[in-house]
Structure 1
Amino acid sequence: MSRPAPQKSLRHKNADLHGSAPDKSEVALVIVDVINDLDFPEAQQLARFIPELADKIARLKRRAKAAKVPVVYVNDNFGRWRSDFRALIEHCRKGKARSLIEQLYPGEDDYFVLK
């Protein structure tokens, strides 16, 4: 009785997980709600935590990129249901969050989900 030939792992089918959506990825770095204009009452209270938090997220993202792990940004769209992620980033870069956005700016090969 013959056995079917083993199939190649999907990981090998698309070794570079960037570009179009990967065939399969066992892991991903999901960065949630960091793209923000900081235009809300509690922003001042959070401001002191932002530099350290941004450093840690940026370091984790560099490690993910080095390991070829896809990076997915998941973010609120601030009620703009027809907005796009790049427009959201540009909106946030103009205000108080400029340094945060510059540090965590999504790369061309990152994925985006607006919620």
Structure 2
Amino acid sequence: MPSRSSGLLAPERAAGQTALLIIDMINCWDFPDAEKLLPCAASIAPRIAALKARCRRSGVPVIYANDNRGRWRSDFPALAQEALRQGGPGAEIASALKPDADDYFVLKPKQSAFFGTPLELLLQHLKASRLILTGVASDQCVLVTATEAGMRDLAVVVPRDCVASQSTARNALVLRQIEEFQKLPTTPSTRLRMIPHARHLQGRRRD
């Protein structure tokens, strides 16, 4: 049965009641296979940063979802600072995607950004029924999050130029799965049209 989410988000449009989710890009890259994933993550970071900038200009909220790595006393600001201190490509990614003061974040214990996190409640608070999923790894955390978003009747788009895995071949395989089996658009980020939220437009009129 086709996912309901495939009909809710036209490939050329990705705003309205939309939120941008950035998955596992703020990272210390100290896990198995990190040396393979890090170059691929670095290659998509500038495109995610550009998409985030467009979202912020349109009033589309930005949410970071990151592993807590079993550290139940951890917090996202500390993780971001640790990522910046480590130097190298990981620090460059963290600098390019450094959270703004009004961005949101959730820490996840497993692959899904929904499992064991307040993401669903946050999206309800934001009145967001559509998600733009970006980040790594496309065949793990991104894919599982997309599946769970569909189970919650959320519309989903996965920009093909803003997700990565440990290899080009793995990324291409999961993008095909997302398109053909989950019936979700993988429209490039540059083709996504941003429509300002009503609250954002009201704020502009008051300025």
Q: TM-score by structure 1 length? A: 0.72
Q: Secondary structure at the match of 1:79?
A: coil
Aligned residue in 1 for 2:78: 87
Q: In 2, distance between residues paired with 1:44 and 1:104?
A: 20
Give the alignment's Cα RMSD to 1 decimal. Answer: 1.5
- Aligned pairs for 1:9-28 within 5 A: 26-28=17-19
Q: 1:50 is paired with a residue of what secondary structure?
A: helix
Aligned pair count reads 91
Distance of 2:57 and 2:83 partners within structure 1: 27
Counterpart residue identity of residue 104, structure 2: Y
Please state how far the C-alpha of 1:50 moved relative to its aligned partner: 2.7
Matched, 1:65 2:31: no
- Say whether 1:109 aligns with 2:83: no
Query: Structure 1: any 5+ residue segments left out of the alignment?
Result: 1-24
Structure of higher CA gyration radius: 1
Distance change (3 Å), C-alpha of 1:112 and 1:52: same
Q: Structure 1 or 2: larger helix share? A: 2
SS in 1 for 2:18: coil
Give the Cα–Cα distance (whole angstroms) in 1 for the partners of residues 65 and 29 of structure 2: 16
Cα deviations by residue, 1:46-73 (Å, 9 ceiling, x for unpaired) = 2332332101110110110011100011
Secondary structure class of the residue paired with 1:75: strand
Scaled by the length of structure 2, the TM-score of the pair is: 0.41
Q: Which amino acid aligns with 1:88?
A: L
Is 1:35 the equivalent of 2:26? yes
> Any runs of at least 4 consecutive aligned residues in structure 1 with deviations exceeding 3 A, and if so which?
none
The answer to whether the Cα contact below 8 Å between 1:35 and 1:92 also exists between their aligned partners in 2 is yes
8 Å CA contact retained: 2:25, 2:41: no
User: Which string of whole-angstrom CA distances, capped at 9 and with x for unpartnered residues, describes residues 10-54 of structure 1?
Assistant: xxxxxxxxxxxxxxx821111111111011232222233233210
Q: Is the 8 A contact 1:29 1:61 kept in 2?
A: yes
Give the superposition deviation at 1:90.
1.2
SS of equivalent residue, structure 1 residue 64: helix
- d(CA) in 1 for partners of 2:106 and 2:81? 16
Higher mean alpha-carbon deviation, 93-102 vs 70-79, is at 93-102
Q: What are structure 2's unaligned runs of at least 5 residues?
A: 1-15, 109-207
* Amino acid in structure 1 at the alignment position of 2:24: D
In the alignment, structure 1 residue 77 sits paired with structure 2 residue 94: no
Tell me whether 1:48 sits opposite 2:39 in the alignment.
Answer: yes
- Asked if the contact 1:77–1:88 (Cα under 8 Å) also holds between the matched residues in 2, the reply is no
